[in-house]
Amino acid sequence: MTNLAMQPEEKWSKSAMTTTVEFFHSGLRRLVAERLATSGKTWEEAVVDPDLELTTADFQALEQALLDTGYLFEASAQISLTENPDKYRPLEQLSDSGVEIKDEQGRRVVGTGANVFKIDSDVIGIARLISTVETVMDMLVNGVPENTIAVIDDSGGTLTAPILEHFAGVVCMGGTVRSHLGILTREYSVPCLMDVQLDGLHDGDRIQVEYSQLPMDVYAESHAQVRARIVKIEGEGNAQ
């Protein structure tokens, strides 16, 4: 049992997809092996012994051991970083590399993403970063500004669910077309891009989002996929 815990390649047919997952899997296998050896019980006796069950404290200790190495988790939303700043890497939010890519009309492409579902035409609106409960509460009380294209960092969809149907469109900086937010926007018929990579977009910019692009097929080969574009429209409504 100890050898299996220390050398998972001899037991498990597939290796972990990331070093983080392997850290937790190896740590849990090692902990189980140590407790089994200390208990003096057979495996059949140990698996039904409540005194040998793993607890929340065990998982917290393993997480802390990972953090003690200097590792930081990737935050999926601003709320994670706000509540546990010592556990997460800072979110990139809206950045600008200074490298400009133009579309056929000479407009700057400020992002690309995976289209959740295709609509007849692209959508023009104002990009508004929505990453805090305070912003959502303000829009819930005072209304969502007309033509809002919500820029969201939380692919779970819970944060914006109360006002989701009032958006002209959504661009999400995480997740996939199969994420919770992608499912919600499809149900509300709100056009949405997921897994969006932004460069040069600012809160308040007037943008056009290519929601008329074919939806992303998660089962197709990556080279066959075409990412929908987000272009900045110069003029009224753009951030200074």
* Among 81, 187, 185, CA closest to 131: 81
| 47, part of any domain | yes
Highest mean pLDDT among 81-90, 135-144, 223-232 belongs to 135-144
Residues 216 and 108 in one domain: yes
Residues 50-78, mean pLDDT to the nearest whole number: 89
| 11, part of any domain | yes
Mean pLDDT of the chain: 87
Q: Between 91 and 36, name the one with better pLDDT.
A: 36
Residues 61 and 133 in one domain: no
| 198, part of any domain | yes
| 84, part of any domain | no
DSSP 212: T
Residues 223 and 132 in one domain: yes
Share of the chain above pLDDT 70, in %: 86
Residues 141 and 29 in one domain: no
Residue ending a domain, choose from 51, 71, 91: 71
Residues 108 and 166 in one domain: yes
Q: How confident is the model at residue 2 (pLDDT cuts 50, 70, 90)?
A: very low
pTM, full prediction? 0.70
| 52, part of any domain | yes
Q: How do residues 12-49 score in pLDDT, each as one tens digit? A: 556 777 888 889 989 999 999 999 999 999 999 999 99
Residues 129 and 206 in one domain: yes
Q: Are the C-beta atoms of residues 181 and 157 closer than 8 Å to each other? A: yes
Among 43-57, 129-143, 180-194, 209-223, name the one with the lowest average pLDDT: 209-223
Summary count for the chain: helices (H), strands (E): 7, 8
pLDDT at residue 4, as a whole number:
36
pLDDT at residue 231, as a whole number:
98
Q: Which residues lie closer than 8 Å to 105 by C-beta, 6 or more apart?
A: 231
Residues 34 and 131 in one domain: no
| 92, part of any domain | no
Residues 46 and 142 in one domain: no
Residues 64 and 121 in one domain: no
Q: Does residue 3 have a pLDDT over 50? A: no
pLDDT at residue 222, as a whole number:
56
Residues 13 and 56 in one domain: yes
Residues 110 and 219 in one domain: yes
Say which residue the tokens 């404290």 belong to: 57
Domain that holds residue 58: 2-71
Q: How confident is the model at residue 81 (pLDDT cuts 50, 70, 90)?
A: confident
pLDDT at residue 8, as a whole number:
45
Measured between alpha carbons, how far apart are the two ends of the chain, in Å?
Answer: 63
Residues 211-230, mean pLDDT to the nearest whole number: 81
| 192, part of any domain | yes
- Count of domains for the chain: 2
Q: How do residues 183-201 score in pLDDT, each as one tens digit? A: 999 999 999 999 999 999 9
Residue 107 buriedness (CB in 10 A; 0-12 / 13-18 / 19+): middle
pLDDT at residue 225, as a whole number:
75
pLDDT at residue 94, as a whole number:
78
| 42, part of any domain | yes
Question: Residue 164 sits in a domain of what CATH number?
Answer: 3.50.30.10
Residues 119 and 223 in one domain: yes
pLDDT at residue 76, as a whole number:
65
